[in-house]
Structure 1
Amino acid sequence: MRALPSAPVEKVIVTYKSQAAEAGSNAAAKTDAAEKAAKTGEDLAFERRLAGGAALVDLGDAATSQDVNEVMAAFRADPSVATVEPDIRAYAMAVTPNDTDYAKQWDLFEATGGMNVPSAWDKTTGSGVTVAVIDTGYAAHSDLASNVVSGYDFISTSADARDGNGRDADAKDEGDWNATDGECGTGSKASSSSWHGTHVAGTIGAVTNNTKGIAGIAYNAKIQPVRVLGKCGGSSSDIADAITWASGGTVPGVPANPTPAKVINLSLGGASSSCPSVYQTAINGAVSRGTTVVVAAGNSNANTSGFTPANCSNVITVASTNRAGSRSYYSNYGTLVDVSAPGGETRNATDTPGTVTTPENAIYSTLNSGTTTQSTENYKPYQGTSMAAPHIAGLAALLKSAKSTLTPAEIESAIKTNARPLPGTCSGGCGTGIADAAKTVDAVTGTTQPGTVFTNTNDVTISDNTTVSSSIAVTGRTGNAPAALKVGVDIKHTWRGDLVIDLVAPDGTVRNLKASSSSDSADNVLTTYTVDASSEVANGTWKLQVRDVASGDTGYIDSWSLTF
């Protein structure tokens, strides 16, 4: 987000081997610091013991980088020292983007209806990932240009393409306007060009921190415009070929894609009771090549099962939510919806169709001011599942960038598993909830947030005069366990005085939580113990060990937990 300041190192962190006197004695660590000071000629002083057991040694504010290197070399040469490292500085990274219209992007940051995107940017911004936007093509926009790579025009009919030819290497959006009612079939209406693909692209990958416009979700990813929608929409044959080409597959008569996409966004669809085989074949091929395919659920306030490609397999189907965190009145729903994302809502369901009463509640993104052909660039709020899908495509790009080995199935699973329940309402089915970008990125990068609770709810029978245990596998932590590790215990037993309860650390160290007592005849153990576990590595298998020391009363471990 910004260049980091350079700060001198003033302290080093020394971890002694467990058998060394300095590992447990502050006096010994202080003496060692004095000895190293005499050896190096530096002004060293033991400052304090850290929670993990290491010693913090102060070098003074006049230490140069050469002084630091000499001190660290002296500690490394000591056979009683396990590790020595500089006490480096960290800085806040989730800086609010300076894009002038960022405040309008509630969909990224608001707690109620937003997708918690900014907190993910500390770990990933989409670098190294190309996202194909299979749509109307690209209307030139300065807030996108540096993130756009060459795409392709897959519209095979020149009249629909409006560029005087069929397929070609120019993905320029020539406009999708209709001049008269009925021009595109019964019930179709005259309309201006939508510049739909450019709006979708901005949500995914608008250039960020450029003091203009908006911020993209995966703002260091590349956007590949692939044109399939022109006059009167687009054909399934063209769209299927575009999916194949975008993911690196071979399309007869079309040059190979030099920058295959690892994410495809399909904010398009039509009515169909089943997924056409031409779509499913193309999607399966894309997924087999490692490309995640994201599809809009549709805007008919109906079951997604009747709309395609949202009803295809191997895709992430996305419903739309509004600023209040409820299903948008127009959004399709149903069991085929995988997850929801902000798509906006600019009127109530009971308002006159076409009425826009709250444009600030839609999704603000890049656009063009032309009514038919391209004119000047601008920004405008749109609503639709077409706007929801690119939020998930952007998140998929963040995940793929953070962990390149993720498969499409793993990306889908991570997004769905880490979604949060809708704070509003959803009738009909909105998938697993609203996607949470930061939580999902943390999950795939193995970062567990402070305050995380690990729980085992499996019952374990406690018989007379026996010892039993229940395990919890802790993962995703860095460093040691806290000095105030919370151990929540729920044991059902008819004479709790019979029980000895211990916490066993991953290295086998036993800490007693409760002793037996022949005079304690009360039922059950329902409490939380606080344990200083700062000398223990956090990750690993922890055990709650329960020993029954008498006869006549039995019970079971109902559940227990560790709070880090």
Structure 2
Amino acid sequence: MQTPAAAPVEKVIVTYKARTAEATSNDAARSDTSAKAQETGEKLSFERRLAGGAALVDLGAGAEDKKDLAEVMAAFRADSSVAAVEPDIRAYPLAVTPNDTDYAKQWDLFEATGGMNVPAAWDKTTGGGVTVAVIDTGASAHSDLTANTIGGYDFISSPADARDGNGRDADPRDEGDWNDFDAECDPDSEAGPSSWHGTHVAGTISAATNNGKGVAGIAHGAKVQHVRVLGKCGGSSADIADAITWASGGSVPGVPANPNPAKVLNLSLGGASSTCPSVYRIAIDGAVARGATVVVAAGNSNADTAGFTPANCANVISVASTSREGNRSYYSNFGTAVDVSAPGGETRRSTDTPGTVTTPQNGIWSTLNSGLTTPSAENYKPYQGTSMAAPHIAGLAALLKSAKSSLTPAQIESAIKSNARPLPGVCSGGCGAGIADAAKTVAAVTGGSTGGGTVFSNAADVTITDNATVTSPITVTGRSGAAPAALKVDVDIKHSYRGDLVVDLLAPDGTAYRLKNAGSGDSAANVLASYTVNASSETANGTWKLRVRDAASGDTGYIDSWSLTF
């Protein structure tokens, strides 16, 4: 948004030189202000001492034009006891409320109770430079998506399921996924219209924003790449695995290389399985190794996510759904396999008129198509599901990757989880780290200030060698007084045998706070954790260090990144 015209300056900030009476005594500063008032003829008054030691001086009524301000500042500058004087200028929020006509319906982006605090993140990033692959039903034409859509691929190998008369091709258009009759696909399937599911998912991630129509996308500066895997009767794991590989820049036999590999993959799909199939595991691990963050819907069976795949696979961000009131949505899967939650909506249907939604305002509004079977006119409608929750996290992942391109998938996942907030409502069974907070997470990775504090970080790699001790410093400035009683320490250490490692936080005075002990039975890799330290006896400002000691031989690694939240 355009910054408003400068408002009249009403106060000035005077910094006195150290060891002068005015620098430490309010009475002396007040007396000096009175002297300057007599000198300039203005009604100056000492208002208060600022945290940094400067004096705030009110110019008084009448001293509102540039000439008066210049005279007052000149008087202070001419004083040998004054180090600096500057106007007390105003700042304004830079985020703009989008003019998209349905933005007011998007409670999931901005409402304090159930929303994800997205608009405040747009001050820092809108996702520019990042491609998000929507591995789904493909794309139906929509003017609110056209500008942010790049070429994708159709991976449905069965012409009958694809409904396009051929197998795999470079055209990811959604031909419809309707069922003609009950049990057409399996004994439990029901006849129904096309969902245009991939189009709805894409709108949440990257619908054009501030264009005077429709809805706003979370990462509206990003590009969406449709990778079609779901058609009539769903999609096969073989096709989906190949799509994951291709979307992330991997090689698939018989398919041209992806010219625009995605750094975020959204999979709002799944099926029942007590384990992660190896075909998924290999594809997902490969995608993550190529630097892609993989986001997966937890499932809509009101059951433990551990029984549904690919949500139960390792190396993914598994997303549960929450309602407008901040509860776990009644249909959402849950459990220890869930990493984080996001708005997925919770609507109710009429018992008198089948198919009629009685609370559309509580769903997730996005781009859609009005065709019952084949494509027709574009429109917008509310859906609900973990399929709607997942693209909220995919959009956030795109914002993070755009704000800091060096972030790895593990760091993106850690940042999202570390900065989530507890559900304000009820969650039975486990909803991961809580509801994701977009603005807080973006601020955390960019070192900005958030409602949860100011984040100081160091992302420079420090090699950890056998039987050696290394440190990584963070210099904290601008924090007066003591450190917090709940100082948050986020650690990302890459190591092939984390049981070898002893990890400490060193305060500026050298005091050590143990974060992790070595453990001979802990053979897992990497330390990706968030610790809380009572550092209230320490001065906040100064150089803090993360100290890592490798207490054994045979395995090595490095400090990838770490941060302190004050």
* TM-score of the superposed pair, with normalisation by structure 1: 0.71
Query: Take 1:476 and 1:441, find their aligned partners in 2: how far apart are those partners?
Result: 21
**Contact residue 155 and residue 238 of structure 1 kept, 8 A:** yes
Q: Trace 1:508-519 onto structure 2 (pairs within 5 A).
A: none
Amino acid at match of 1:404: S
Determine the structure 2 residue equivalent to 1:360. 361
**Contact residue 116 and residue 437 of structure 1 kept, 8 A:** yes
Determine the structure 2 residue equivalent to 1:416. 417
- Could you tell me how far 1:487 is from its partner in structure 2? 8.5
For residues 268-313 of structure 1, the C-alpha deviation after alignment (integer angstroms, 9 at most, x for no partner) is 1112121111111110011111111000111112221221111111
Q: Trace 1:86-485 onto structure 2 (pairs within 5 A).
A: 89-347=90-348, 356-449=357-450, 452=453, 479-481=478-480
Q: Could you say what the CA RMSD is over the residues aligned between the two structures, in angstroms?
A: 4.5
Determine the structure 2 residue equivalent to 1:52. 52
Query: Take 1:417 and 1:350, find their aligned partners in 2: how far apart are those partners?
Result: 41
Query: Take 1:476 and 1:303, find their aligned partners in 2: how far apart are those partners?
Result: 44
Query: Take 2:257 and 2:65, find their aligned partners in 1: how far apart are those partners?
Result: 59
For residues 346-389 of structure 1, the C-alpha deviation after alignment (integer angstroms, 9 at most, x for no partner) is 12899999663322211111100011111111001111110111
CA 1:326–1:196: 2 relative to 1, 3 Å: same
Amino acid at match of 1:136: T
CA 1:9–1:47: 2 relative to 1, 3 Å: farther
Amino acid at match of 1:296: A
For residues 228-270 of structure 1, the C-alpha deviation after alignment (integer angstroms, 9 at most, x for no partner) is 1112211111111111111111222222222211111000111
Query: Take 1:339 and 1:46, find their aligned partners in 2: how far apart are those partners?
Result: 52
CA 1:126–1:83: 2 relative to 1, 3 Å: farther
Bigger mean CA offset, 435-444 vs 402-411: 435-444
**Contact residue 178 and residue 232 of structure 2 kept, 8 A:** yes
For residues 446-496 of structure 1, the C-alpha deviation after alignment (integer angstroms, 9 at most, x for no partner) is 234468599xxxxxxxxxxxxxxxxxxx989773538xx89889xxxxxxx
Q: Trace 1:484-495 onto structure 2 (pairs within 5 A).
A: none
Residue 181 of structure 2 aligns to a residue whose secondary structure is coil
- Could you tell me how far 1:46 is from its partner in structure 2? 12
CA 1:507–1:270: 2 relative to 1, 3 Å: closer
Q: Which runs of 5+ in 1 are unaligned?
A: 32-44, 455-473, 490-504, 509-530, 543-562
Amino acid at match of 2:185: C
**Contact residue 113 and residue 342 of structure 1 kept, 8 A:** yes
For residues 153-190 of structure 1, the C-alpha deviation after alignment (integer angstroms, 9 at most, x for no partner) is 11122222222222222221111112222322323222
Query: Take 1:207 and 1:539, find their aligned partners in 2: how far apart are those partners?
Result: 43
Residue 151 of structure 1 aligns to a residue whose secondary structure is strand
**Contact residue 333 and residue 429 of structure 1 kept, 8 A:** yes
**Contact residue 177 and residue 194 of structure 2 kept, 8 A:** yes
Query: Take 2:539 and 2:45, find their aligned partners in 1: how far apart are those partners?
Result: 24
Determine the structure 2 residue equivalent to 1:470. none
CA 1:15–1:102: 2 relative to 1, 3 Å: same
Larger radius of gyration: 1
Aligned identity (percent) is 75
Query: Take 1:292 and 1:123, find their aligned partners in 2: how far apart are those partners?
Result: 20
Counterpart selection for 2:542 from 540, 549, 553: 540
CA 1:407–1:187: 2 relative to 1, 3 Å: same
Residue 179 of structure 1 aligns to a residue whose secondary structure is coil
CA 1:152–1:82: 2 relative to 1, 3 Å: farther
Residue 438 of structure 1 aligns to a residue whose secondary structure is helix
CA 1:486–1:305: 2 relative to 1, 3 Å: closer
Residue 342 of structure 2 aligns to a residue whose secondary structure is strand
Amino acid at match of 1:342: P
**Contact residue 475 and residue 543 of structure 2 kept, 8 A:** no
Determine the structure 2 residue equivalent to 1:458. none
Matched residues, number: 470
**Contact residue 350 and residue 356 of structure 2 kept, 8 A:** no
CA 1:284–1:80: 2 relative to 1, 3 Å: farther
Query: Take 2:258 and 2:83, find their aligned partners in 1: how far apart are those partners?
Result: 51
Residue 150 of structure 1 aligns to a residue whose secondary structure is strand
Query: Take 1:451 and 1:413, find their aligned partners in 2: how far apart are those partners?
Result: 16
Amino acid at match of 2:137: T
- Could you tell me how far 1:90 is from its partner in structure 2? 2.3
Residue 123 of structure 2 aligns to a residue whose secondary structure is coil
**Contact residue 177 and residue 195 of structure 2 kept, 8 A:** yes
Determine the structure 2 residue equivalent to 1:41. none
Query: Take 2:454 and 2:5, find their aligned partners in 1: how far apart are those partners?
Result: 36
- Could you tell me how far 1:144 is from its partner in structure 2? 1.4
Query: Take 1:265 and 1:488, find their aligned partners in 2: how far apart are those partners?
Result: 39
Residue 224 of structure 1 aligns to a residue whose secondary structure is strand
CA 1:266–1:486: 2 relative to 1, 3 Å: closer
Amino acid at match of 1:221: A
- Could you tell me how far 1:427 is from its partner in structure 2? 2.1
Query: Take 2:479 and 2:230, find their aligned partners in 1: how far apart are those partners?
Result: 55
Determine the structure 1 residue equivalent to 2:2. 3
**Contact residue 46 and residue 55 of structure 1 kept, 8 A:** no
**Contact residue 160 and residue 230 of structure 1 kept, 8 A:** yes
**Contact residue 440 and residue 451 of structure 2 kept, 8 A:** no
Q: Which runs of 5+ in 2 are unaligned?
A: 33-43, 456-472, 487-506, 511-535, 545-564
Amino acid at match of 2:478: G
Residue 366 of structure 1 aligns to a residue whose secondary structure is strand
Query: Take 2:172 and 2:65, find their aligned partners in 1: how far apart are those partners?
Result: 59
**Contact residue 319 and residue 342 of structure 2 kept, 8 A:** yes
Q: Trace 1:22-101 onto structure 2 (pairs within 5 A).
A: 51-53=51-53, 89-101=90-102
CA 1:321–1:14: 2 relative to 1, 3 Å: same
